[in-house]
A = this chain, B = another copy of it.
Amino acid sequence: MSLPHAILTALLEKPSSGLELTRRFDKSIGYFWSATHQQIYRELGRLEQAGHIRALPAPVPARGQRKEYEVLPAGRAELGMWVARQEDPKPLRAALLLRMRAAAVVGATGLRAELSRHLDLHRKQLAEYLEIEARDFPPERRHTEPDRLRHLVLRGGIDMERFWVEWLTNALAELGTE
């Protein structure tokens, strides 16, 4: 039940149309909660139905017509509840770890190449995050609570990528001597 809340958050930051949301998900929010435009349109419909958001009045409501949404008080309230709600962390889903375990059974042929490919991808992602940090969170932008929270979120992404880079580097080193 996270997607509707992701959308509420994005809409509170800035009222948007479906496609604008999709683009923003491809960037910042999607870094830790991705969604396709399909999911987003469907969820916007549900949120409107539930009275959590509303479409800003458009001249001619019609198919193919751009619709801007904004959050209603009920939506903001729901988001506030959700922030404090108890919700256990979902168990990790790491296909690469699974593949490594399979490799222990059927042999690691071809696994090394996959590992270096992933290492490369994670290095790139890490670099991108660090760039964002340098650009959006200079020291003077770390004082208000909202800024600190946003920065902590980004740190989460950064440290997560660091974890992968380190783990993959180590794995390659350990398998390299075979």
Contacts and interface: CB of A to CB of B under 8 A. Distances in A.
Interface of A: 2, 5-6, 8-9, 12-13, 29-34, 76, 79-80, 82-111, 113-114, 117-118, 121-122, 145-150, 152-153, 155-157, 159-160, 163-164, 166-167, 170-171, 174-175, 178
Nearest to A171: B152
A84 B102 contact: no
Contacts of A86: 114, 117
**Which of A91, A96, A105 has most B Cβ within 10 Å?**
A105
- What is the count of identical protomers in the complex? 2
Contacts of A34: 91, 93
A154 B121 CA distance: 22
Provide the main secondary structure of the chain A interface. Answer: helix
B100 A152 contact: yes
A149 B103 contact: yes
Nearest to A13: B105
A111 B84 contact: yes
B150 A159 contact: no
